């Protein structure tokens, strides 16, 4: 199978371009590229390759077929989620901790996407990734709070553009270890996936790190903990958790990102990280703002340390 790059696709990144052409996820495409199964002009190429008009992309049709026949999203009526806002184009959902937003390559059947397909079957073709219909941004499985979902392609394209232009305000509440040195700050450290560890690590841009910027404000300082308001200016995987860990203030309850000096003294089986506030201009130009209270489990922790 060969795809020839047209002039209008000039300078698109290879993996992002192929997501719009193939019925598999971006992560699956990246694995095929890294394995040398996808070639550009008969040459092995990197995931970050930018295309030129006339480039010929060779794709292993049988491997694509194997991936698509083995992996299919199924609606799941058992998935429960709280809708805090809905119109003809979008949903704002208050996601509980422990619920995956979309399936990984293991094709878990009990994600938010599976629940959405049961209630809104029309979203199955919305977006640019067949395994993430309607999903324009995400929350980690262990993180709770507000998330925006698109019900139409028009909404998806609109909000994807807003996210890229950083015109959507996302604020989280986090409890971290230690005494904060400053009442507020900005963490500007590029991050990239750490090999074989399922986590992100701070890496220079020369090492493949992608720009990541996080702002924080100290809300309350406890003896051994600090309550922060955290704003995401970029949307990298695990960004808040990786950034706070990088400045020696790991999120309380986070088993993946922690320091050796941390002795967990609180009974918490999830990271103390909650998507508290979401604000944006809707398709009609009207500004919308949403707030989410801390889950009971996290509120109890604050009472415990007060």
Would you kindly state where each structural domain of the chain is located, as residue ranges?
Answer: 2-70, 82-164, 169-305
**Which tokens sit at 118?**
């049961």
Does 35 have pLDDT greater than 70? yes
Q: Which of 17-26, 29-38, 122-131, 226-235 has the lowest mean pLDDT?
A: 17-26
More confident residue, 205 or 177: 177
How confident is the model over 102-107, as a mean pLDDT? 81
169-305 topology per CATH = Pseudouridine synthase (3.30.2350)
pLDDT grade for 175, boundaries at 50, 70 and 90: very high
Which residue of the set 129, 140, 157, 267 is catalytic?
140
Domain 82-164 in CATH: superfamily? Pseudouridine synthase (3.30.2350.10)
In this structure, are strands 43-44 and 39-40 parallel, antiparallel, or unpaired? Answer: antiparallel
Please state the CATH superfamily assignment of the domain spanning residues 2-70 in this structure.
RNA-binding S4 domain (3.10.290.10)
Please give the residue that has the higher pLDDT: either 73 or 230.
Answer: 230
- The fraction of the chain above a pLDDT of 90, given in percent, is 64
Compute φ and ψ for 68, nearest 5 degrees. -75, -35
Span of 6-15, 237-246, 249-258, 295-304 with lowest mean pLDDT: 6-15
pLDDT of 294 above 90 = yes
* Count of other CB atoms within 10 angstroms of residue 255: 11
Same fold flag, 2-70 and 82-164:
no
Task: Give the closest residue to 174 by CA, choosing from 136, 226, 99, 210.
Answer: 226
Q: Strand 56-58 and strand 82-86: pairing? A: unpaired
Report residue 156 as tokens: 């998806």
37 annotated active-site: no
Using an 8 Å Cβ cutoff, are 292 and 97 in contact?
no
Q: How many CB atoms sit inside 10 A of residue 159's CB?
A: 23
Partners of 94 in the β-ladder:
82, 146
Question: Contacts for 128-133 with beta carbons within 8 Å, 24 or more apart?
Answer: 128/16, 128/19, 128/20, 128/156, 128/160, 129/19, 129/25, 129/26, 130/23, 130/24, 130/25, 130/73, 131/24, 131/25, 131/71, 131/73, 131/102, 131/103, 132/25, 132/101, 132/102, 133/73
Using pLDDT thresholds of 50, 70 and 90, give the confidence band for residue 48.
Answer: confident
| CA diameter of the chain | 64
Is the pLDDT at 189 greater than 60, yes or no?
yes
């Amino acid at each position: 199978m060969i795809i020839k790059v047209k002039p209008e696709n000039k300078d698109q990144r290879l993996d992002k371009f192929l997501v719009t052409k193939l019925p598999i996820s971006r992560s699956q495409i990246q694995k095929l590229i890294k394995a040398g199964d996808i070639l550009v002009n008969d040459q092995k190429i990197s995931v970050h390759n930018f295309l030129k008009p006339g480039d010929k992309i060779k794709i292993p049709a049988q491997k694509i077929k194997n991936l698509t026949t083995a992996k299919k999203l199924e609606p799941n009526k058992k998935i429960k989620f709280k809708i805090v806002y809905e119109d003809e184009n979008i949903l704002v959902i208050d996601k509980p901790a422990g619920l995956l937003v979309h399936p990984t390559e293991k094709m878990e059947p009990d994600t938010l996407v599976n629940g959405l397909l049961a209630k809104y079957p029309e979203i199955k073709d919305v977006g640019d990734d067949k395994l993430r219909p309607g999903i324009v941004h995400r929350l980690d499985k262990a993180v709770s709070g507000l998330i925006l979902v698109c019900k139409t392609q028009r909404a998806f394209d609109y909000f994807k553009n807003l996210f890229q232009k950083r015109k959507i305000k996302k604020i989280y509440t986090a409890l971290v270890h230690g005494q904060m040195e400053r009442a507020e700050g900005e963490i500007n450290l590029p991050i990239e996936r750490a090999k074989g560890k399922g986590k992100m690590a701070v890496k220079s841009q020369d090492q493949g790190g992608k720009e990541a910027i996080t702002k924080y404000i100290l809300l309350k300082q406890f003896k051994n903990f600090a309550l922060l308001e955290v704003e995401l200016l970029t949307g990298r995987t695990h960004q808040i958790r990786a950034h706070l860990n990088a400045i020696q203030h790991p999120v309380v309850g986070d088993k993946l990102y922690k320091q050796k000096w941390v002795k967990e003294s609180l009974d918490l089986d999830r990271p103390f990280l909650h998507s508290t506030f979401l604000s944006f201009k809707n398709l009609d130009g009207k500004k919308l703002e949403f707030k989410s209270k801390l889950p009971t489990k996290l509120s109890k922790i604050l009472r415990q340390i007060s």
